[in-house]
């Protein structure tokens, strides 16, 4: 299965994985700064953007295995939201290939339960799953609105995400459903101690999907993780506050 990738710059390898329903173009605002120091690769995950192929078994382990065939042998791996879950799985399955792991607005468990009270209500994801059957373009637009919620620059952020997500056509319905299933059912909390490489969690202060309290609890589950909270940001701090975001990321890298 072929995946679309695009590489710019020279230096140590850095790979960026986007979130649910999106594509690699969401990173374009921070690419120039990263590419000055790093060989930077963006990926369109299966069924998103320019990666039209979609596996029938859309699971974290399958996605990590597909990426392992395409990505560099050694890299710093950066994942946003669902992309962060995939990056975490990749680091667990390929520990020798990940020098550093940066997770942006990405929880080891997305959905709230009694042991994870700061997660997102399952009803939110169930609503998206139901919406996909009716009008999945409208559902993605609704998700974009939630991602920007609370941000100092919410309206501008929504406009940017909408423009980039549909730039290469609609994501594949099977990939959207598979991604929601991953977000709905995954719990990697007990495995985070297995990750030995330095890790960074970046959270938006006002993120309603990955709350600051969840970020702090997630950080404590790693052996070697730091946490950076971006003031005034929602779920996409690299869009709303790129300078603060880049300062944290580049210092870590």
Measured CA to CA in angstroms, residue 11 lies from 17, 74, 157, 164 at distances of: 19, 12, 30, 27
Give the list of residues 6+ apart from residue 163 with CB closer than 8 angstroms, or none: none
- Residue-by-residue DSSP string for 37-82: TSEEEEE--TTBTTB----SS--HHHHHHHHHTTS-SSEEEEEETH
Structure tokens at 197: 């490489």
Q: Which of 51, 81, 106, 240 is catalytic?
A: 81
Active site residue 81: yes
Active site residue 113: no
121 and 112 in contact (C-beta within 8 Å)? yes
70 and 3 in contact (C-beta within 8 Å)? yes
Please tell me the total number of residues recorded for the chain in this structure: 253
Distance CA 59, CA 4 (A): 19
Specify the pairing of strand 39-43 against strand 5-8: antiparallel
Q: Which of 13, 25, 44, 207 is catalytic?
A: 207
Q: Which of helix, strand or coil describes residue 51? A: strand
Active site residue 153: no
Instruction: Tell me which residues are annotated as active site.
Output: 81, 207, 235
């Amino acid at each position: 299965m072929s995946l679309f990738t695009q590489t710019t710059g020279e230096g140590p390898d850095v790979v960026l994985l986007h979130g649910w329903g999106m594509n690699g173009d969401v990173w374009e605002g921070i690419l120039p700064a990263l590419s000055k120091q790093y060989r930077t690769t963006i990926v369109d995950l299966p069924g998103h953007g320019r990666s039209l192929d979609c596996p029938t078994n859309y699971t974290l382990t399958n996605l990590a295995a597909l990426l392992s065939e395409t990505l560099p042998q050694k890299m710093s791996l950066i994942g946003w939201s669902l992309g962060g879950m995939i990056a975490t799985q990749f680091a667990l399955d390929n520990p020798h290939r990940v020098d550093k792991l940066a997770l942006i607005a990405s929880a080891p468990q997305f959905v709230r339960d009694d042991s994870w009270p700061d997660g997102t209500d399952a009803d939110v994801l169930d609503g998206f799953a139901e919406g996909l059957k009716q009008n999945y373009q409208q559902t993605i637009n609704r998700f974009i609105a939630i991602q920007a919620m609370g941000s100092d620059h919410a309206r501008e952020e929504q406009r940017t995400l909408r423009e980039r997500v549909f730039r290469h056509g609609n994501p594949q319905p099977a990939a959207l459903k598979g991604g929601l299933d991953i977000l709905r059912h995954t719990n990697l909390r007990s495995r985070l101690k297995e990750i030995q490489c330095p890790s960074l969690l970046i959270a938006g202060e006002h993120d309603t999907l990955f709350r600051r309290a969840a970020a702090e609890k997630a950080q404590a589950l790693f052996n070697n993780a730091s946490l950076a909270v971006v003031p005034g940001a929602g779920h996409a701090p690299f869009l709303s506050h790129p300078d603060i975001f880049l300062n944290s990321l580049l210092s870590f890298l």
